[in-house]
Homo-oligomer: A and B are copies of this chain.
Amino acid sequence: MVNTLFLPELREMLASDDRGELEEFCVALNAGRTAEFMEGLDDNEVWRVLQYATPERRAEIFGYFPEVRQVTMLDQEPADQVAALVDEIPADDRVDLMQSLPEQRVGEILNLLPVDARRDIQRLGAYPDGTAGALMTTEVAMLRSDLTSREALEELGRQASDLETIYYLYVVDENQLLLGVVSTRQLVSSLNKPTKTLSEMMESDVIAASVTDHQEEVAQKVEKYNLLAIPVVDDARHLAGIITHDDVIDVVREELEEDAQRIAAVAPLEDSFLEVGLLMLSWKRGIWLTILFFAALLTAFALFHYDRELAQYEWLVWFIPLIISAGGNSGSQSATLVITAMTSGDVAFSDWPKVMKREVIVALTLGGFLALIGYTVAFFLAPSPEDALVIPLTLLLVIFCGCVCGGALPMLFKRLGLDPAMMSNPFVAGIVDILGIVIYINVARLLLTAPL
C-alpha cells in the first residue's frame, strides 16, 4: 500500500526548492517511515529529496527502499552524488548493490570512491554468495585489550557513526587476531570502575563464524547462543568482519522459504517471485516437474501391465486417483514434518527409531479411519460388499507406505549428504504412486471372487 498523504506537498516543496521544509522532512520521522512517505514519488524525485538530508541520514533512508529502486537510482543518477552515497551505505549492503549494477557503471563509481571503500568493496565482493564472508560487514568495533572501560566507551563514541553495531566490541592484537569480546552492556555496567581494562572484562571463549561457513550454519549459531551479532574470522582467527542480527533474520527467512519451495518441487529462486525471469522460473519449475512426470509415467506402464485385471474388474478404475492421492498426501505430510523438524534441529538421524515408531502408529490410525470412509463409498459402487473390501485394505496399506516412506526418506537423504527438502517429495511421490498401483491390483487379485 503506497502512502500518498504527503506526495503533493513533497512535489510542491521540490518545485519551489523549499530547503527548510525538505530538510525538516528528512529528519522529523523514523528513517523507515520517511522512506514510506516517499514511496509514491518516482526515482528521480526520491533522489532529489534525499539530497536535502545529511549524508549519513541519506544512506539510512535510502536503505529502506526496495532493492530494485535502489539499483535504478544508483544506475541513473549523477555518478558523483551516487559515489558520495555509496561511501555511506553499510559495507555488506553496498557490495550487494554494486553487484547488481552494470559493469561499466561499477567502474565509474569505484573510481570516485576513497581508496579504503574501494578496497573494501572488492574484498567483500570476492566471497562466494551464501557464505559468512559474503554476508558480513567490515565495520566492526576492534579495540586493544589495554584500554580501560572509560577509554573504550570514548573510543566507541568517536567510531559510533561508522559502525554497523556498537553492541559488541572485539578485542584484537596488533595483527587483528581475535582475543575476546566485551559487550557494551559490560562497559556500561563497569562505568563506576573506570580503570578496569578490556582484558580484565572480556570473555575469551568467543563464539565466531569462519568466512567460509555457510550462512545457514551462521544463523543457527546466532540463534543457539542468542547473539546480537557474530564475529567472522579467517582460518588463522584474524577478525575479518561481523554479521548483525538483521542479516541473520533475513537468512532464516530466506532459508525457510527455500525449504518450502523445495518441498513443493521448485528449485529455489534467487530473486523475488515477481522479479525472476520467466525463462528462469520455467527452468526452476520444469526440472522437477519433469522428474516427477517421469516418475508418474511409471504408473502408466504399471497400469498397462495390469491391463487384463482392469478389463475384468472395470469398477477398480474408479478408485485409482483416490488411492494414489491418499498415499501421496499422507507421504507428503510425513516428509514435510520430518524435514521441518530436521531444519529446526528437533530431529537428528539418531532419532530414527522413534520417528519410525510414531509414523507407524499415526499411519495405522489415519489409514484405519480413511479405510472406513472408503469402504462406505465402495459398498455402494462395487459389485458386492465382499468385493468392496479391496478398497479399505488397499487404502490402509498405501497410507502405511506413504507415512513410512515420507518419514524415512528425508532422514536417509540427509544422512547421505543430500538436501532432504529437495529430494524427498519427488521420491516419496514416485515411490508411493507406483506402490499404490501394485498394492491395489494385488489386493484385488487376492480378494476378488472371480478367478483372474
Contact = CB atoms under 8 A, between A and B. Distances in A.
B188 A157 contact: yes
Interface string A256-285: 110111011110010011110010011001
A452 to B, nearest CB: 16
Given A228-B245, A314-B307, A274 B341 contact: yes
A30 interface: yes
A373 B207 contact: no
A321 interface: yes
A293 B396 CA distance: 13
Nearest to A191: B157
A203 interface: yes
Residues of A contacting B: mostly: helix
Interface string A349-375: 001001100100110011001100110
Interface residues of A, number: 120
A318 B340 contact: no
Interface string A199-237: 000010111000000000000001111101000000000
Contacts of A28: 205
A338 B307 CA distance: 40
Contacts of A341: 272-274
Contacts of A205: 28-30, 33
A260 B225 contact: no
A448 interface: no
A121 to B, nearest CB: 21
A333 B30 contact: no
A263 B263 contact: yes
A326 B314 CA distance: 24
A310 B317 contact: yes
B273 A32 contact: no
B324 A225 contact: no
Contacts of A381: 300, 304
A6 interface: no
A190 B160 CA distance: 10
Interface stretch (A38-46, A102-110, A246-254): A246-254
